Structure 1
């Protein structure tokens, strides 16, 4: 399953990328994030791995992030592996004007196991909706400086 989500943020690309590139900010725009723990490599650099733990409506979920491309301020890509799901995300940060930036996130999900394949087939909108929720929360965080509500 593949889809693209995007938001236009009222801030310069430098400001957007600085906020995106700081792991301390994750909790401000990823509602449900419980922890972000580097596990190998140099954090933020290609090849680095980190463990992210989430509370998704009372259900605990853990995923491993692997950074596959870092060409900031233009692009940043990674993979996210959770139980039965491999997610590839390609992020682009495009200046729209002096104080506007478009964040485009191309997502590809590869499902393993019967149940995850069925879920991906039955509920593709849920994955897109969650991705867009994070982009919109990030936009609000950058524009207002206030954390997203859970």
Structure 2
């Protein structure tokens, strides 16, 4: 399953990248993020890996993020792997004529188990909705300093 989400963040591109590329900020816009650990490579650079730990209600989940392409401030591509799914996320950033930042995120979800394959088939909107939620939560944090941990 593939889909694209977009959002305008009312910050100049350089300020946007500083907030987005700071791992300490993730807890402010990724609800349920408990902690993260660098596994290998230089944080934020090509090939680096980070483990992300989430608690979503009673469910705990961890993802491994790998940076597969980086041409900041305009592109950042990652993969996310967890039990049952491999996600490729290609992010594109551009300045708007108003001096803001347009964030376009192209996602491809590749299920690795039958259960996730069925989930993606039956509930594709849930994946897109969650991706859009992260973009909106980042926007709220970046523009208004509102953390999902305080909401």
Q: Does 1:5 align with 2:5?
A: yes
Q: Which residue of 2 aligns with 1:42?
A: 42
What stretches of structure 1 move > 4 A for 4+ residues in a row? none
Q: When the two structures are superposed, what TM-score results if normalisation uses the length of structure 2?
A: 0.96
Give the 5 Å matches for 1:18-37: 18-37=18-37
Q: Which residue of 2 aligns with 1:92?
A: 92
Give the 5 Å matches for 1:79-118: 79-118=79-118
Cα offset, 1:21, TM superposition: 0.6
Q: Which residue of 1 aligns with 2:78?
A: 78
Give the Cα–Cα distance (whole angstroms) in 2 for the partners of residues 47 and 4 of structure 1.
24
Give the Cα–Cα distance (whole angstroms) in 1 for the partners of residues 57 and 128 of structure 2.
17
Cα offset, 1:51, TM superposition: 0.4
Aligned residue pairs total 150
Give the Cα–Cα distance (whole angstroms) in 1 for the partners of residues 113 and 59 of structure 2.
19
Unaligned 5+ segments in structure 1 are none
User: Alpha carbon RMSD of aligned pairs, Å?
Assistant: 1.1
Q: When the two structures are superposed, what TM-score results if normalisation uses the length of structure 1?
A: 0.96
Q: Which residue of 1 aligns with 2:133?
A: 133
Structure 2 SS opposite 1:97: coil
